[in-house]
Amino acid sequence: MPNEGYTMVTHEKPFRYLSGDLKVTRGASWSGPGCHDGCGVLLYTNAEDKLVRVEGDPENPYNQGRLCVRCLALTEAVNHPDRLRYPMKRDPKKRGTEAFERITWSEAYDFIEEKLRYYKDNFGAESVVFWRGTGRDIATYISRFAWSYGSPNLTSGINGIACYAPRVFGCASTSGSFWVGDYSQQFADRYENPQWKPPGTIAIWGNNPLISNSDGLYGHWIIDCMKRGSHLLVVDPKCTWLAAKSALWLQIRPGTDAALAMGLANYMIQEEIYDKEFVDLWCYGFDEFSERVSPYTLEKTSEITWIPPEKIVQAARMIAASDGFALQWGVAVDQTTEALPACQALSALIMITGNLDNPGGMIKPPELLNYLGGWGQEFLPQEQEEKRLGIDKYSFYRTGVVSAAALTVLEAIEKGEPYPMKAAWIQTTDIITGTGPDPQRAKEAFEKLEFIVGVDLFMTATMMALADVLLPAATYPERNGIRVGDGCQRGETINQAADPGECKADMEILLEMGRRFNPEAWPWETVEDMYSYILTDSGLSFAEMQEAAPVFLPYEYHKYKTGKLRRDGQVGFNTLTGRVELYSTMYSRLGLDPLPEFYEPTPSPYSTPELYEEYPLIIITGARDWMYFHSENRRQEHLRALRPEPVVEMHPDTAKKYGLTEGEWVWLEGHRGRAKRIVSLNLGLDPRVVSTSHGWSHPEAGPERLYDTRELNINSLIAWEDMSKIGVGANYKVMLCKIYKVTA
Ligand code: SF4
């Protein structure tokens, strides 16, 4: 039986049942391929256990039967002829060629074990870097493997950990928790729950939730809330679909989010329209904060952000008057140079308006699997932890950030300092095509390593260029798993439906390798035993959770008033002062600025005017397309048909100025590099700003051309060094470029 207070959804059928000739398996989705939202799916398989259809599960309160195109086209990925189907090995001298030889799993495991033991014994476990991608539910297990092997060098390969982490740290280090908008996701009965009410205002800030469906939010919830009375305030340089439906759209200059947040706060304070009672009782450092934001007058804020002063007034009044204010912020805030103070500035808006732990405001999702932050870290000896690359340079990395700094790892590979790097374990990440900057530099650095293991679904550019042993991973319909991450507001299982052939679950690979190096850390016979162990606190085994899921945890609002939020049972928040900290005592102790601040991005029209003269457009990268998740999905025929080639969106006046027309190929060139795109006109952009998506390759171009990543990867315009001085935040939204036609 599950723990007291848990709510289960009533299902008419077991999680596996027959429907005519087909078997139906109910469960949650999880990348790869797809994303890490975890929507409820019904997977249809035939007599040969082949996946033939995917539907949204109408009984699952999360997505209520809806799916986006990526899961609807899932069969095309799972059954694709290009899938990696068996383990392979290649002579490191032949990297970049198709000279792979098929081997068995036991040969692969033995060979990898022998090599990793050799590097550990001769150069120390720190000489092996573990490089993982986003999305898969493997993050926890790969960390445990790295630590139990003995290496502190684990990274997700994006400089400045500029995806989600700055928002989490910016929030947690000032208020003791990460907070998400309250869309009733914590309740099994969703919008019918009597405790819940829709947010009066939802600020969609640097986020396009309908397309990205990111971080535990199914984008359609925004529309569900609008139907129930919520108004939208959209902060975005581009007029998105939601911006067009909003009560107010602030067309912000990229990279100036902190200035806008500080200008809004200053106006609310000057006009005394903030929540005085909440500030008096629960906020620490209000006077210092007021002083810090005071220079951000309407005029100054407008000058920095390009937003007219009257719209800033309108926005401030809208937030302050709102009965429930939810901040739906996105990766755009993380992907600016000084992301941490920016996230601090944005979180201050929810603090001074008292929108924490309240219905229709910001909530702390309950956590079913309370093991994410460092599960297995105890197996890493302290002397090894001290060797973690980046902690000497970035003091913030000592505060619970478990990653090594990707740039420092890269430099260590390049220079052999502070110690030699010898090998890499690359799992589910396409370094050359994906989210990291300067892919050519990353490729050249990795080429120096003596031994590289790769785990993936397809032959990616990274695997083709670098892997010496390549292990085929199962897709999510081909393996079991449990939902982790993004605020585990419910218990879900990923349930195997289709035959994986020789492919194996990422976790199964890690369990096998982990057991070989540190059996004490990996005492389980099967991955299902491991999941049951992780689920212990729920009172359910993995098999029971498969039947019962989704399982919802008890939830109540205003826990800070009753002592149910703090670990010590005292009233207040999980900070040193017990209050939410507008002045961060943690940053102060670390020698960082304790207050939020705006820093002019570099480069920019103002900080580097000479560069701006040569590269006169601001380019935003990293925007998502409906049909793709980072570098995935380009092989799926129906998804590719929706967007066959990468586009750069620009205002028609911009196109006219540079003599360009819709549909023609152009180069986007910055001072670091260039990438090709097709012109797409968009009236919803400022003529000084252009926008493009990332993760592009042409799988059909073949290995000789490395799938065209050299000319399509937009991150060629970004250097690894284009990041924050404190190691949190990077420049993906604030580069400069020029545009010209591609000629023969
Ligand atoms: S958001 Fe889309 S890709 Fe992600 S799990 Fe849901 S349906 Fe699948």
How far, in Å, are 381, 409, 681 from residue 126 at the CA level?
11, 10, 49
Average pLDDT over residues 288-306: 98
On whether both 140 and 196 belong to a single domain, the answer is no
Q: Give the percent of the chain with pLDDT over 90.
A: 83
pLDDT of residue 29: 93
Give the residue, out of 51, 60, 67, 625, with the most ligand 1 atoms within 8 A of its beta carbon, to mutate for a pocket test: 67
Angstrom distance (rounded) from CA 14 to CA 543: 12
Residue that is written with structure tokens 């003791």 in the block: 176
236, 113: one domain = no
The pLDDT, as a whole number, for residue 21 is: 97
What local confidence, expressed as pLDDT, does residue 69 receive? 95
Are residue 207 and residue 118 in the same domain, yes or no? Answer: no
pTM over 0.75: yes
The amino acid sitting at 618 is: I
Token digits of residue 268:
């609310």
Residues 689, 648: one domain?
yes
The average pLDDT across 573-587 equals 96
* 689-716 pLDDT tens trace: 999 999 999 999 999 999 999 999 999 9
**Domain's final residue, options 78, 99, 134:** 78
User: Would you say residue 600 lies in a domain?
Assistant: no
Is the C-beta atom of 331 inside 6 A of ligand 1? no
Residue 471 lies in a domain: yes
Burial of residue 89 (number of CB atoms within 10 Å: 0-12, 13-18, 19+): middle
Identify the DSSP state of 726. Answer: T
| 558 within a domain of the structure (yes/no) | no
CATH of the domain at 701: 2.40.40.20
Give the residue carrying structure tokens 């999305």: 135
Residue 373 has pLDDT above 80, yes or no: no
Q: What is the CB neighbour count within 10 angstroms for residue 269?
A: 18
Is residue 120, in this structure, part of any structural domain at all?
Answer: yes
- What is the C-alpha to C-alpha distance for residues 85 and 102, in angstroms, rounded to an integer? 10
| Rounded distance between C-alpha atoms, residue 126 and residue 150, angstroms | 7
Angle, CA 442 vertex, CA 441 and CA 447 arms, to 5°: 100
70-73: long-range pairs with CB below 8 Å, 24+: 70/33, 70/34, 70/35, 70/627, 70/628, 70/629, 70/633, 70/639, 71/29, 71/34, 71/39, 71/41, 73/627, 73/633, 73/636, 73/638, 73/639
Q: Is residue 157 part of a domain?
A: no
CATH number, domain containing residue 114: 3.40.50.740
Cβ contacts of 450 within 8 Å, gap of 6 or more: 92, 119, 422, 423
Query: How many Å apart are CA 37 and CA 62, to the nearest integer?
Result: 9
The reply to whether ligand 1 has any atom less than 6 angstroms from the CB of 70 is yes
Q: What's the CA angle centered on 72, arms 69 and 73, to 5 degrees? A: 85
**580, 284 contact by CB (below 8 A):** yes
Domain match, 342 and 438 both: no
Ligand 1 atom nearest residue 71's Cα: 8
Per-residue pLDDT at 486? 58
Residue 213 beta carbon below 6 angstroms from any ligand 1 atom: yes
Asked if 429 and 362 sit in the same domain, the reply is no
Contact 318, 202 (CB under 8 A): no
Tell me how far the alpha carbon of residue 562 lies from the centroid of ligand 1, in angstroms.
Answer: 36
Question: Is 487 a residue whose pLDDT tops 60?
Answer: no
Claim to verify: residue 32 and residue 175 sit in the same structural domain: no
Cα-to-centroid distance, 507 and ligand 1 (Å): 21
Q: What's the mean pLDDT in 332-344?
A: 91
pLDDT at 370 exceeding the cut of 60: no
Asked whether residue 158 is domain-assigned, the answer is: no
Give the single-character DSSP code of 458: B
pLDDT for 679 beyond 80: yes
Q: State if residue 202 touches ligand 1 by the CB under 6 angstroms criterion.
A: no
Please tell me the predicted confidence (pLDDT) of residue 170: 87
> Which tens digits make up the pLDDT trace of 56-95?
999 999 999 999 999 999 999 999 999 999 999 999 999 9
Q: For 147-190, write each residue's pLDDT tens digit.
A: 999 999 999 888 888 888 899 888 888 998 889 999 999 999 99
pLDDT at 368: 65
Specify the residue with its C-alpha closest to ligand 1, atom 2. Answer: 68
* Confidence at 323, pLDDT banded by 50, 70, 90: very high
71 lines ligand 1 (CB under 6 A): yes
Pocket-testing residue among 36, 41, 70, ligand 1, by greatest number of atoms within 8 A of Cβ: 70
Question: Backbone phi, then psi, for 423, in 5-degree steps?
Answer: -150, 165
Ranges of beta strands (E only) in 88-186 are 88-89, 101-102, 128-132, 154-155, 180-181
pLDDT for 135 beyond 70: no
Distance of CA 28 to the CA centre of its chain: 18
The last residue of a domain, from among 78, 112, 139: 78
Q: Is 37 touching ligand 1 by the criterion CB < 6 Å?
A: yes
Does the pLDDT of residue 240 top 90, yes or no? yes
Per-residue pLDDT reduced to its tens digit, 411-469: 999 999 999 999 999 998 999 998 899 999 999 999 999 999 999 999 999 999 999 99
Which of 155-159, 345-349, 593-597 has the weakest average pLDDT?
155-159
Q: Is 277 exposed, middle or buried (CB count within 10 Å of its CB: 0-12, 13-18, 19+)?
A: exposed
| CA 214 / ligand 1 centre spacing (Å) | 9
* Total number of domains constituting the chain: 4
CA of 74 to the centre of ligand 1 (A): 10
Asked whether 156 lines ligand 1 (CB < 6 A), one says no
Helix (H, G, I), strand (E, B) or coil at 238: strand
- Would you place residue 485 in the very low, low, confident or very high pLDDT band (cuts 50, 70, 90)? low
3-state helix, strand, coil in the chain (%, to 5): 35, 15, 50
Query: In one letter, which amino acid is 135?
Result: G
Give the integer Cα–Cα distance in Å for 498 and 669: 45
The pLDDT-based confidence of 259 (bands split at 50, 70, 90) is very high
Tell me the DSSP string of 524-576. Answer: -SSHHHHHHHHTGGGT--HHHHHHH-SEE----S-GGGTT-SSTTS-SS-SSS
Question: Atom 3 of ligand 1 has which residue's CA nearest to it?
Answer: 34
Q: Is 487 in the pocket of ligand 1 (CB under 6 A)?
A: no
Domain contains 70: yes
pLDDT of residue 308: 98
Range of the domain at 728: 609-741
Q: Which amino acid is it at 27?
A: G
Mean predicted confidence (pLDDT) in 626-643: 95
Q: Whose CA is nearest to atom 8 of ligand 1?
A: 71
Q: Which pLDDT value is given to residue 646?
A: 98
Task: Give the separation between CA 714 and CA 191, rounded to whole angstroms.
Answer: 41
> Quick check: 367 pLDDT over 90?
no
96: left (phi over 0), alpha (psi -120 to 50) or beta: left
User: 400 and 317: one domain?
Assistant: no
**pLDDT computed for residue 374 by the predictor:** 77
Please tell me the total number of residues recorded for the chain in this structure: 744
Residue-wise burial string across 653-665, b where 16 or more C-beta atoms lie within 10 A, e elsewhere: ebbeeeebeeeee
456 CB under 6 A from ligand 1?
A: no
Mean pLDDT value across residues 667-692: 97
Token pair, residue 728, equals: 């949190």
474 within domain boundaries: yes
Residues 386 and 506 in one domain: yes
pLDDT of residue 538: 84
CA distances from 674 to 272, 459, 710, 737 (A): 49, 25, 9, 9
Distance of CA 300 to the CA centre of its chain: 32
- The enclosing domain of 23 has a CATH number of 2.20.25.90
Q: Tell me if 737 CB under 6 Å of ligand 1.
A: no
Mean pLDDT of 109-125: 98
Residues 6+ positions from 59 with CB-CB distance below 8 Å? 9, 11, 12, 26, 40
pLDDT score, position 239: 97
Ligand 1: centre distance to CA 26 (Å): 15
Q: Are strands 22-28 and 16-19 parallel, antiparallel or unpaired?
A: antiparallel
Residues 349 and 389 in one domain: no
**Which CATH number characterizes residue 583's domain?**
3.40.228.10
Pair (54, 183) in one structural domain: no
Q: What is the mean pLDDT of residues 192-206?
A: 97
| CA dist list (Å): 630 to 135, 312, 624, 713 | 10, 33, 8, 11
Arithmetic mean of pLDDT over the chain: 94
| Ligand 1 atom index nearest CA of 67 | 7
Please give the pLDDT value at position 460. 97
User: 141, 147 in Cβ contact below 8 A?
Assistant: no
Contact partners, residue 324, CB within 8 Å, separation at least 6: 182, 197, 198, 199, 200, 201, 355, 358, 359, 360, 361
Type of residue found at 722: D
The finding on whether 177 has its CB within 6 A of some atom of ligand 1 is no
The structure tokens listed for 204 are 């969609």
Residues 377 and 363 in one domain: no
